[in-house]
Structure 1
Amino acid sequence: MQADVLRDFIVNKADDLKARDILVLDVQKMSDITDFLVICTGTSNTHTRSIAGHIAVEAKNAGVPPISTEGESDGEWVLVDFGDVIVHVMQPETRDFYQLEKLWG
């Protein structure tokens, strides 16, 4: 799946579970690691884990399994790595603290 198609698929799946403040950053000119970052917010640890899990399962069902997933145990910040797209699902406090939008924007 092309990076832009995967990006849109991920945004759609995050929206399915009511992720808040979904933001896509194009980092192709800043990073050799990935093309896009998708950052979104969950309302609780359970919600954050559910969003990330839903994205991973649906992508796997579409033939694009994640390379790795981190942070599921505590749910404050769950990262799902698809290579060309990296997804960050964060609690509001964690997102405010790390401010990835400013770091990469």
Structure 2
Amino acid sequence: MQLEEMKQRVLTALDDLKAKDVVVLDVAGATSVTDYMVIASGTSSRQVAALAQHLVDEMRQQGVSVLGIEGKDTGEWVLVDLGDVVVHIMQPQTREFYELEKLWGAFATPAIHQA
């Protein structure tokens, strides 16, 4: 699967379960770890975990290898590593505390905000 198609499928999967405040950061020029970082919010631990599981299921169904999943048990902050795309799904208070957009935003070009 091409990188742009993978990114779009990630965004669609997050939208399926009504993720909030989805932001895509292009960090390819800042790190060799990943090309895109996607940050999204869920309204509760249950929604965060459900978003992550839905994303993993959708990506596997498309033949994308899921390299790792961290934090699904607590549902406060779940990281889904798809290699070229790393997805952070967080509860709003956790997202506000860690400010990943601010941390990575200076290195991201361009930053894409989704509705």
Which TM bucket (shorter chain)?
Answer: over 0.9
| 1:55 and 2:88 are equivalent in the alignment | no
TM-superposed deviation, 1:3: 1.7
Structure 1 counterpart of 2:108: none
TM-score, length basis structure 2: 0.90
Q: Which runs of 5+ in 2 are unaligned?
A: 106-115
Separation in structure 2 between the aligned mates of residue 83 and residue 65 of structure 1, nearest angstrom: 8
Q: Which runs of 5+ in 1 are unaligned?
A: none
Q: Matches of residues 6-45 of structure 1 in structure 2 within 5 Å?
A: 6-45=6-45
Structure possessing the higher relative contact order (Cα contacts under 8 Å, 6 or more residues apart): 2
SS of 1:30's equivalent in the other structure is coil
Q: Matches of residues 53-92 of structure 1 in structure 2 within 5 Å?
A: 53-92=53-92
Residue correspondences, number = 105
Separation in structure 1 between the aligned mates of residue 82 and residue 56 of structure 2, nearest angstrom: 9
Letter in 2 for 1:71: G
| 1:95 and 2:95 are equivalent in the alignment | yes
| 4+ residue runs over 3 A deviation | none
TM-superposed deviation, 1:22: 0.5
SS of 1:25's equivalent in the other structure is strand
Structure 1 counterpart of 2:111: none
Q: CA RMSD in A?
A: 0.6
Identity across the alignment (%)? 49
TM-superposed deviation, 1:5: 1.2
Separation in structure 1 between the aligned mates of residue 2 and residue 100 of structure 2, nearest angstrom: 24
TM-superposed deviation, 1:65: 2.7
TM-score, length basis structure 1: 0.98
SS of 1:83's equivalent in the other structure is coil
Residues 56, 65 of structure 1: 8 Å contact kept: no
SS of 1:40's equivalent in the other structure is strand
Q: What CA deviation, in whole Å up to 9, does each residue of 1:11-39 have, x standing for no partner?
A: 01000000000100000000110000010
SS of 2:23's equivalent in the other structure is strand
